[in-house]
Amino acid sequence: MSKAHQTKSKRLAGKIVIICVWFGIWEALALAIHSKLIMAGPVETVRALLQMAGTRAFYTSILFSACRVLAGFLTALLLAVVLAALSYRYTLIREFLHPFFLLARSIPVASFVIIALLWMGSKNLAVLIVVLVALPILYSQLLAGLQNVEQKYKELAEVFRFRFWTRVCTVYVPAVREQFLAACRLAVGMSFKAGIAAEVIAGTSGSIGERLYLAKLYFSTGELFAWTAVIVVLSWGCEKLTMLLCRMLFKSLTGENRDGRRRRRSALENESVCLAGADEPQGSLSLTHVTKSYDGRVVFSDVSIYAQAPELVVLAGPSGIGKTTLLYMLAGLCAPDGGEAAVPKKKTMVFQDIRLFEHLSAVSNVVYAMGNSFLQRNAAEKAASQALRELLPEECLWKPVKNLSGGERRRVELVRAMLAGGQMVLLDEPFTGMDEKAREKAMVFLRRYQMNRLVVLSVHEAKLTEALMPEKILILEEKEIKINTENDETVCNQ
């Protein structure tokens, strides 16, 4: 027996013991009180439950209440998703909805029920009450998750021109996952509590709430405890089912299921594929007297650069000199304070920090950036696998990138940038974390997949890129940018 299996068995045994202890405490209390009208013990409760289970009304009551509670929960879930998305996108909507959700969280359920009874009958009252109780919980957690989306992934999606649905599945869904699951777990339990309470107060015919009220009215304490146990089990079962379905949905949306299936059936695919970027029109960049400052500190002053495809331009300089700021400007992620900047519309980028979707495989990270439609996904996976094999071992292709080393993840980012198409490729210190052998392979890969595109690459020292034989080398220093090129069209001052 494996150690993990032994640990799991011990935990299960521990839970069983704890449950038995609580049943023992319950029975001891029933014996101490010694009044079946006040406290029914486990034996009386089970006996009452077995008697109810032999009637048709038992099952129809459960079905009646469960359907209405779940209908209310699903309605609240749908409304929460829509309203949270709108509130995240539009501040005015968020401010407009704030008073409503503040009231919904503050008003007691009993008040909701009494007020609602003035507007509608009792048959579907539980649906409305569940919506009013569950909606604030789901909405607040979804909105908080959306507001916590990391800026770096938004920038990644913008630079790589992710489609709307790809952006939702890769950037926003993973960000809200844990908070959404916690909200669903809480909301399901609260939904059953509020829904049954509404049925009790309203006296909804044919519901669990009505059965509870009648049991209390006729002092059938065993039946009262039995129905309470049914509600607990029903709530627990629906919570587990909801969590299972939500996790399956998240895995489907984020591509984790697809990675698992592909990992199991993956085989070497050496067929020739059409590489992104091969048919892109040539691009060029032009910075004219550009200036940029942050917090009063001048980063660039009167900088002018011109480069065109298929050149490879190297920006060399120490940390903090402005290489990343310049690349961000070329990527369109920040605007110059002065001057003019003309760059290609379609760009790809390796950022200075690692920006991969950690739960996805190396192949899926590359495929999402390639922007292929669903029908083209197999071809995109084939192209991504073929390119990744040039820099990574086969076993690294389909495992989540969070399990790869820093150098391996850097190579995944390089492949993603080179296969994602575009007219210009921006590489911010792309060889970080690679040993000499891996760096040499990466340089060969870069030149092979550059095709007719303009590439701008930043490094600490220009000599690290000698093997690339760049057309231009711009050395950034404190006072100026020195140019090592035969092209006198480039003039830079800092």
Show the tokens assigned to 19: 């449950």
Segment 324-348 shows an average pLDDT of: 90
Over residues 278-291, the mean pLDDT reads 76
Query: For residue 267, what pLDDT is reported?
Result: 43
Res. 292: pLDDT tops 90: no
Question: Phi then psi for 300, rounded to 5 degrees?
Answer: -130, 150
pLDDT at 54 over 80: yes
pLDDT band at 321 (very low <50, low <70, confident <90, very high): confident
The full set of domain ranges for the chain reads 1-34, 35-254, 284-360+404-492
CA angle 148, 100, 133 (to 5 degrees): 80
Mind listing the pLDDT tens digit for each residue in 375-395? 477 888 889 999 999 999 999
- Coil, helix or strand at residue 37: coil
Residue 277 has pLDDT above 60, yes or no: no
**Cα angle value 308/314/315 (rounded, 5°):** 115
453 contacts: CB under 8 Å, gap ≥ 6: 277, 280, 282, 283, 309, 310, 422, 423, 424, 425
- Give percent of the chain with pLDDT exceeding 70: 89
- pLDDT, average across residues 284-291: 88
pLDDT higher at 258 or 442: 442
Mean pLDDT of the chain: 85
466: confidence class by pLDDT, cuts 50, 70, 90: confident
Sorting pLDDT into bands at 50, 70 and 90, what band is 182? Answer: very high
Q: Is the pLDDT of residue 271 over 60?
A: no
d(CA 469, CA 473): 10
Span 39-68, average pLDDT: 89
pLDDT of residue 486 exceeding 70, the answer is: no
Per-residue pLDDT tens digits for 205-228: 889 999 988 988 888 888 889 999
Neighbouring residues of 184: CB distance < 8 A, sequence distance ≥ 6: 77, 138, 242, 243, 246
Give the span between the Cα atoms of 130 and 332, in whole angstroms: 46
Fold for the domain defined by 284-360+404-492: Rossmann fold (3.40.50)
| Rounded average pLDDT over 419-444 | 91
Q: Is pLDDT of 483 > 60?
A: no
For residue 259, pLDDT beyond 80: no
Q: Which two tokens stand for residue 166?
A: 């790809």
Q: What string of DSSP letters covers 6-25?
A: HHHHHHHHHHHHHHHHHHHH
pLDDT at 340 over 70: yes
Give bridge partners of residue 425 from the DSSP assignment. Answer: 348, 455
pLDDT over threshold 90, residue 256:
no
pTM for this one? Answer: 0.82
Residue 22 CB neighbour total at 10 angstroms: 11
Residue 268 has pLDDT above 70, yes or no: no
Q: Assess whether the region 35-254 and the region 284-360+404-492 belong to the same CATH fold.
A: no
Split at pLDDT 50, 70, 90, the class of 120 is confident
pLDDT exceeds cutoff 90 at 145:
yes
Q: CA-to-CA distance for 416 and 348, rounded, in angstroms?
A: 8
Question: Which tokens go with 482?
Answer: 């020195």
- A 10 A CB-CB count for 172 gives 20
Question: Residue 463: how many CB atoms within 10 A of its CB?
Answer: 10
Pick the CATH number of 35-254 from 3.30.830.10, 3.30.70.360, 1.10.3720.10, 3.40.50.300: 1.10.3720.10
Res. 493: pLDDT tops 50: no
Between 67 and 37, the more confident residue is 67
pLDDT tens column, 76-92: 999 999 999 999 999 99
Rounded distance, CA 11 to CA 14, Å? 5
Backbone phi and psi for residue 219, each to the nearest 5 degrees, phi listed first: 55, 35
Chain-centre distance for alpha carbon 337: 34
Q: Which residues contact 232 (CB under 8 A, 6 or more apart)?
A: none
pLDDT, residue 487, reads 43
Strand partners, 291: 338
- Is the pLDDT assigned to residue 134 strictly greater than 60? yes
The predicted-structure confidence for 192-206, as pLDDT tens digits, reads as follows 999 999 989 888 888
Per-residue pLDDT band for 1 (boundaries 50, 70, 90) equals low
- pLDDT (mean) for 268-284: 54
Contact status, residue 420 vs residue 369, Cβ threshold 8 Å: yes
> Which residue has better confidence, 246 or 25?
246
pLDDT value at residue 26: 79
